[in-house]
Chains A and B, each alone.
Chain A
Amino acid sequence: MPKMKNETVGKPGKAVDPWQEPETTIVRGIASGGVGGEPAALDSKNGKIVRIRPIRWDWKYDENHLSTRLWKFTSRGKTFECPPKSSPPYFTFAYKKRVYSKNRVKYPLKRVDWEPGGDPAKINAQNRGKSKFKRISWDEAASIIASEIKRVKETYGPFAVLAVGEDGHCESKNLHMTGGCHMSFLDKVGGYTRETRTPDSVEGFYWGAKHVWGTGANMGLAMTSPCENIIKDVADHTDMIVLQAGDWETVQNFCGQFWSHVIRYYLDLGIKFVVIDPFCNYTAVAHDEMKWIPILPNTDVALDYAIIYTWIKEGTYDKEYIETHTIGFDKVKAYVLGEEDGVPKSPAWASPICGVPEWTIKALAREWGSKKTSIGHFCGCHIRGPYSHEPGRTEAYKLAMQGMGGPGVHQIHLFSFNVARQPIKPGYGPLLGAYKATQFAPTVQAIPRTMVHHAIEKGHVEHYGSPQIIFAPAEDQWEKYVYPAPVEEGGGEIHMMWSEKPCNMGCWNGGFKFQEAMRSPKMECIITNHQWLENDSLFADLVLPVTCVAEEADAVGSGFGVSVNWAGIQDKACEPVGESMSDYQIAVRIAKEFGVEDQLSQGMSDDEWLKYAFDTSPIANDISWEEFSEKGYYIPEFDPDWEKGPSGLREFYDDPEENPLDTPSGKIEFYSEALAENFPDDKERGPIAKWIVGGSESEGWTHDETLWGEKAKKYPLLLVANPGRWRVHVQSDDITWFREIQTCKVKGYDGYLYEPMWIHPVDADKRGIKHGDIVKLFNNEGIVLVGAYVTQRMLPGSIMVNKGARVDPITDRIDRGGSTNLITTPKPISKNCWGFAVTGFLVEAEKLSPAEMDEWKKKYPEVFARDYDPASGSRYSGWVEGVE
């Protein structure tokens, strides 16, 4: 696949000044969140990337061609056009720093005190996350892996290898996409145990709202579906958008920054934005027009019910819709009015719980009850905390009471970005013929990602629901799953782990507990594939170097979250760094040891696969292979009648009998008969959503994470762990250019760059904490060190630390990297819902005394002697022997 030569100024081979040297360009999305995203141009020369910049759609196509592909529409007299230039995430522009990171894994690595063979004395499991690595050859790595797979399977059974896939370095890839390339291989040699990816970021909808409005987007995410034509409908009809914990300006960066344009357009139309968040987030602070309503973390149910109470009392909800489109409203009504428990859920009741003044609750309820209101939802924290199925459901209740699906009343979410419907949806959709990862294929034995540490510790776990992030209807949650699978089916305990996504400890629940599980001698061999030496890889025995997107030829288009859907094909922008290979190539390389590589590759080269993907895709009817390869990107036409299509749940709104939801009744279910039947004794997730305080384990509660229980006496601060402004999940924490931005890190007195802990002066003063102090953040799970960022952007009583900082272990259950997931509970959302609860939990913050720090330094000198570079943080040379 040739690179696109540009109108270069200099000529190859001719000596010119540096500024005139010729460059070549490819077009591809670089999104760390695992989708194609908005495309960027990567300019390279002499085998290195020079710059990464936005592209203009008219680079390779003329105005006439684009006129049927770039949408525009007019609403309330203002026209909104597809921006002529792409809006990649800002991470894209700094991606060079990831490719050439000081923390990049360049060669296969083996932990110095680990030997294959399973001898407890030689695996030194207890030293995982402590001992260093050394470089080995690919041949040695492949041979060790092959022999370990064979040994472990022969010793413990066909499914003794746990394959962990997707997400940790899930970048914008297709042929080379991570997420189960190793599973595709292991499937050819007798099977494996699959780690099931759980519905992270939308847990509350998955376990809660799914029982109100059905399966939802992507066949299981339980955010509303269909979700087409919402952007224009909101422009036409909506008066107010409530972002109940959704930081659009930030979270959009997992794919692009198109939503900034949407926000600006909506503000220009006069749509009011209300941001409800404990933290005055980056969306709220950037726009003068927006109103911030601070709320205590994990108390959204109280606020929601006070709003609903006001609507019921004042009659400001759609009673006819409730009659025709919903069932069970009377039960919720009785609960709200206090007929069930004697406690009316009034604004006066809610105010001390959620920290929002009574008058503001009433004002919000009245605005909402009298104006067309949509909810904007982008993975906000209220949907990822303890008992998150409850706010997931009250969010659905609120929309239902105001006529969901009607003009201007929608849930605006991650999947409702498409402005104009395109009959061909590129993304990596039509070119999926090249896709190799099989993360979502069912297996005989599986463990949910939220339970891996429990499974290793106990050797046996049971749970309801698969619980897979997609392809999971509500009924799946009535199914009981058991690990291990029955012996007669080949079931047995896992003794080896191979991860293409080494960030369980930084992204999922109970991070410290996960570290302990990785140190279990039961786990005889742990392999990770990863580009950077971080997080779970520090606890591995073998680390395999993976290529970044810039180093691979691939066929990747938009994925989602973009201004317009496009298809792409691209050469690599630079050579692979060190000896890295893609996850697919690694799977093929290991398969070779078993003589099954042809079963993976079908004997086809990478280039042949890309051509095959094109030939079997619908865009092959639109554009020739030659033209597509030459231009590098292609936008299919939009449907000329797109504006006439139904918006969101409009068809259900217009005729619920003809267009039912996939709930048991076909309607919105305030009360879930199915939940009542299947879990009659579940006091945490009953048939209707409730405000749940929780309590002690002995009384059968999973959580006690509010200011109203016993735990708060010891740990009185509610921590909200919002998605990072300068990271995508755990990715990009090493980018030097971000780390020098004021809000990215806090420099401690020791020169270490700590993860900021945002705290209000009132809470800081109480604890003698000053801006810039090193702070010990702790609860029963352990201690993480953070740096105090004293601010007015935080509601007193709560603090905020962005999730996803890299772990940097000091010792067991003490870490200085600031990864909040380490101190999250390993427990589920609630008894029967094995999602994670990774925000909205109790902690205490204390200024770290230099004496305590010195004690650690004395006790763990090797930790503090590790090579560390404030500019990029924890680095490769601190963990690998013999590196300059």
Chain B
Amino acid sequence: MKAFVIDLNKCVGCHDCQIGCKDEHCGNDWMPYAKPQPDTGQFWMKVHQYERGAVPHVKVTYIPVMCQHCENAPCKAACPENAIYQRDDGLVVIDPAKCNGCGDCIDACSYGVIYFNKELNIAQKCTGCAHLLDRKWPIEVPRCVDNCHVGAIQFGEESELDLTGTETLHPEFGLKTRVYYRGLPKRFVAGTVYDPMIKEVVIGATCTLSGESGKFTAKTDNFGDFWLRDLPEADFTLTIKADGKTKTMEVSTKEKDIGLGDVPLA
């Protein structure tokens, strides 16, 4: 069975994958695998981006999302025309010749990755570039994989890919998806600790978050910065300690990541 592994730690947000997908499918007819994708409005591969934190502790997480090629594909079950099929290699494909445009699959999809093509009256989505895989030319992998210049998207036999430490999107849906992610964002709390009396950053301060969901600790670096990453969404007490001085404050990662800016330790 074919699967994707997307490493978000390698992703630089360039959108090579999203653009490559458009280049492969917009205006190109790959029948019997796929009809052309409209020039705009559909994203068989879409890079979602999330701005996180506050000045000056800001990061953006980019998450490329396409059809998750579920083993228990709800779109397939929902199609009254049996137009959606699962290939022997596991890729889920909508047969444009059979699709009657009823849109049931679009409603059934838990990941919102099926689009309606008004002009052609069909539902469309990522095919895993099955036409390239079968033709084996000019490339033998999906375009998003070939286009990625930093190797953040891998494609291959599920059994041969290194899946350790990966996660899937919404495993609670129970759909057995075949797109695995490394580095899905968890919450962070960050700040710059300084001494307001001498106007210097505080290096090596111990910053501890504690709460019901656990205890997390980091030390400030040579810029006075601490970054507590991979946190759960919870309420915490943040304690900053250095040179006999202590500061505590309440922070919550329930809603968002926290960039505290410059934190005086007096």
Q: Across the interface, which residues of B come within 8 angstroms of A43, CB to CB?
A: 138
Q: Across the interface, which residues of B come within 8 angstroms of A294, CB to CB?
A: 55-56
A54/B147 in contact, CB under 8 A: yes
Tell me, yes or no, whether A172 is within 8 Å of chain B by CB.
no
Residues of chain B from 139 to 165 with CB closer than 8 A to chain A in the complex: 139, 143, 146-147, 149-150
Q: Across the interface, which residues of A come within 8 angstroms of B200, CB to CB?
A: 359, 362-363
Interface size on B (CB < 8 Å)? 62
Q: Across the interface, which residues of A come within 8 angstroms of B12, CB to CB?
A: 249, 260, 282, 286-287
Q: B19: which of A90, A347, A791 is its contact (CB, 8 Å)?
A: A90
Interface CB pairs A-B, < 8 A, 24:
A17-B31, A54-B146, A54-B147, A90-B14, A90-B16, A96-B27, A257-B14, A260-B12, A280-B55, A285-B13, A285-B51, A285-B60, A286-B13, A288-B59, A291-B223, A292-B56, A357-B194, A357-B262, A360-B262, A736-B40, A737-B39, A738-B19, A739-B40, A740-B41
A363/B147 in contact, CB under 8 A: no
A93/B147 in contact, CB under 8 A: yes
Tell me, yes or no, whether B174 is within 8 Å of chain A by CB.
no
A288/B229 in contact, CB under 8 A: yes
Per-residue B-contact encoding for A759-803, CB less than 8 Å = 1, 0 else: 010000000000000000000000000000001111110000000
B143/A51 in contact, CB under 8 A: yes
A19/B56 in contact, CB under 8 A: no
Q: B150: which of A261, A280, A363 is its contact (CB, 8 Å)?
A: A261
One of A5-13, A154-162, A523-531 at the interface = A5-13
A19/B147 in contact, CB under 8 A: no
Residues of chain B from 1 to 51 with CB closer than 8 A to chain A in the complex: 9-16, 18-20, 22-24, 26-33, 39-41, 47, 49, 51
Tell me, yes or no, whether B64 is within 8 Å of chain A by CB.
no
Tell me, yes or no, whether A177 is within 8 Å of chain B by CB.
no
B20/A93 in contact, CB under 8 A: yes
Q: Across the interface, which residues of A come within 8 angstroms of B59, CB to CB?
A: 285, 288
> Which residue of chain B lies nearest to A367 when distances are taken between CB atoms in the complex?
B222
A792/B58 in contact, CB under 8 A: yes
Q: B138: which of A6, A19, A793 is its contact (CB, 8 Å)?
A: A6
Tell me, yes or no, whether A143 is within 8 Å of chain B by CB.
no
Most buried by B among A23, A87, A359, A360: A359
Q: A17: which of B32, B40, B51 is its contact (CB, 8 Å)?
A: B32
B19/A93 in contact, CB under 8 A: yes
A-B pairs with lowest CB-CB distance, top 4: A285-B60, A87-B149, A359-B194, A19-B131
Q: A792: which of B49, B53, B194 is its contact (CB, 8 Å)?
A: B53
Per-residue B-contact encoding for A11-52, CB less than 8 Å = 1, 0 else: 000000111100101000000000000000101000000111
> What is the interface of chain B mostly: helix, strand, loop, or mixed?
mixed
Tell me the bound Cα distance from A94 to B29 in angstroms: 17
Interface size on A (CB < 8 Å)? 68
Tell me the bound Cα distance from A736 to B41 in angstroms: 10
Tell me, yes or no, whether A269 is within 8 Å of chain B by CB.
no
A360/B55 in contact, CB under 8 A: no
Most buried by A among B24, B28, B41: B28
B143/A792 in contact, CB under 8 A: no
Tell me, yes or no, whether B123 is within 8 Å of chain A by CB.
no
Besides A19-B131, A286-B62, A736-B40, 18 other CB < 8 A contacts? A17-B31, A19-B33, A19-B135, A53-B143, A93-B20, A249-B12, A249-B13, A260-B14, A280-B56, A291-B223, A292-B57, A359-B195, A364-B223, A737-B39, A740-B41, A741-B15, A792-B51, A792-B55
Q: Would you give the shortest CB distance from A285 to chain B, in whole angstroms?
A: 4
Tell me the bound Cα distance from A9 to B136 in angstroms: 9
> Which residue of chain B lies nearest to A95 when distances are taken between CB atoms in the complex?
B23
Tell me the bound Cα distance from A760 to B56 in angstroms: 12
Per-residue B-contact encoding for A78-116, CB less than 8 Å = 1, 0 else: 000001010110100110100000000000000000000
B131/A94 in contact, CB under 8 A: no
Tell me, yes or no, whether B224 is within 8 Å of chain A by CB.
yes
Tell me the bound Cα distance from A56 to B15 in angstroms: 20
Q: Across the interface, which residues of A come within 8 angstroms of B40, CB to CB?
A: 736-737, 739-740, 871
Tell me, yes or no, whether A713 is within 8 Å of chain B by CB.
no
B19/A737 in contact, CB under 8 A: yes
Tell me, yes or no, whether A742 is within 8 Å of chain B by CB.
yes
Tell me, yes or no, whether A75 is within 8 Å of chain B by CB.
no
B39/A736 in contact, CB under 8 A: yes
Most buried by B among A87, A284, A792: A792
Tell me the bound Cα distance from A263 to B171 in angstroms: 33
Per-residue A-contact encoding for B191-215, CB less than 8 Å = 1, 0 else: 0101100011100000000000000
Tell me the bound Cα distance from A806 to B206 in angstroms: 51
Q: Across the interface, which residues of B come within 8 angstroms of A357, CB to CB?
A: 192, 194, 262
Tell me the bound Cα distance from A293 to B223 in angstroms: 10
Q: Across the interface, which residues of A come within 8 angstroms of B19, CB to CB?
A: 90, 93-94, 737-738
> Which residue of chain B lies nearest to A290 when distances are taken between CB atoms in the complex?
B59
Q: Would you give the shortest CB distance from A346 to chain B, in whole angstroms?
A: 11
Tell me the bound Cα distance from A282 to B199 in angstroms: 30
B259/A53 in contact, CB under 8 A: no
Tell me, yes or no, whether A696 is within 8 Å of chain B by CB.
no
Q: Across the interface, which residues of A come within 8 angstroms of B23, CB to CB?
A: 51-53, 93-94, 96, 737
Q: Would you give the shortest CB distance from B166 to chain A, in whole angstroms?
A: 18
Tell me, yes or no, whether B225 is within 8 Å of chain A by CB.
yes
Tell me, yes or no, whether B137 is within 8 Å of chain A by CB.
yes
Q: Would you give the shortest CB distance from A736 to chain B, in whole angstroms?
A: 5
Number of contacts between A and B (CB, 8 Å)?
169
Q: Across the interface, which residues of A come within 8 angstroms of B259, CB to CB?
A: 792
Whether A360 touches B192, Cβ cut-off 8 Å, given contacts A18-B31, A19-B135, A51-B28, is yes
B150/A358 in contact, CB under 8 A: no
Tell me the bound Cα distance from A23 to B138 in angstroms: 9
Q: Would you give the shortest CB distance from A368 to chain B, in whole angstroms?
A: 11
B146/A286 in contact, CB under 8 A: no
Whether A360 touches B223, Cβ cut-off 8 Å, given contacts A93-B147, A736-B40, A871-B40, is yes
A286/B60 in contact, CB under 8 A: yes
Tell me, yes or no, whether A813 is within 8 Å of chain B by CB.
no
Residues of chain A from 722 to 760 with CB closer than 8 A to chain B in the complex: 736-743, 760
A53/B14 in contact, CB under 8 A: no
Q: Across the interface, which residues of B come within 8 angstroms of A871, CB to CB?
A: 39-40
Q: Would you give the shortest CB distance from A547 to chain B, in whole angstroms?
A: 20
Q: A264: which of B49, B139, B150 is its contact (CB, 8 Å)?
A: B150
Tell me, yes or no, whether A237 is within 8 Å of chain B by CB.
no
Q: Across the interface, which residues of B come within 8 angstroms of A261, CB to CB?
A: 149-150
Tell me the bound Cα distance from A737 to B150 in angstroms: 21
Per-residue A-contact encoding for B59-79, CB less than 8 Å = 1, 0 else: 110100000000000000000
Tell me the bound Cα distance from A23 to B139 in angstroms: 13
Q: Across the interface, which residues of A come within 8 angstroms of B137, CB to CB?
A: 6-9
Per-residue B-contact encoding for A518-547, CB less than 8 Å = 1, 0 else: 000000000000000000000000000000
A359/B201 in contact, CB under 8 A: yes
B53/A53 in contact, CB under 8 A: no
Q: Across the interface, which residues of A come within 8 angstroms of B22, CB to CB?
A: 94, 737
Per-residue B-contact encoding for A237-258, CB less than 8 Å = 1, 0 else: 0000000000001000000010
Tell me the bound Cα distance from A594 to B199 in angstroms: 74
> Which residue of chain A lies nearest to B25 when distances are taken between CB atoms in the complex?
A51
Q: B199: which of A264, A358, A795 is its contact (CB, 8 Å)?
A: A358
Q: A742: which of B14, B49, B138 is its contact (CB, 8 Å)?
A: B49
Tell me the bound Cα distance from A249 to B200 in angstroms: 32
Q: Across the interface, which residues of B come within 8 angstroms of A831, CB to CB?
A: none
Q: Across the interface, which residues of B come within 8 angstroms of A292, CB to CB?
A: 56-58
Tell me, yes or no, whether A592 is within 8 Å of chain B by CB.
no
Tell me, yes or no, whether B102 is within 8 Å of chain A by CB.
no
Q: Across the interface, which residues of B come within 8 angstroms of A288, CB to CB?
A: 9, 59, 227, 229
Tell me, yes or no, whether B120 is within 8 Å of chain A by CB.
no
Q: Across the interface, which residues of A come within 8 angstroms of B57, CB to CB?
A: 292
Tell me the bound Cα distance from A286 to B185 in angstroms: 13
Q: Would you give the shortest CB distance from A788 to chain B, in whole angstroms?
A: 15
Whether A793 touches B58, Cβ cut-off 8 Å, given contacts A54-B147, A94-B19, A260-B150, is yes
Q: A20: which of B39, B135, B194 is its contact (CB, 8 Å)?
A: B135
Q: Would you give the shortest CB distance from A339 to chain B, in whole angstroms?
A: 23
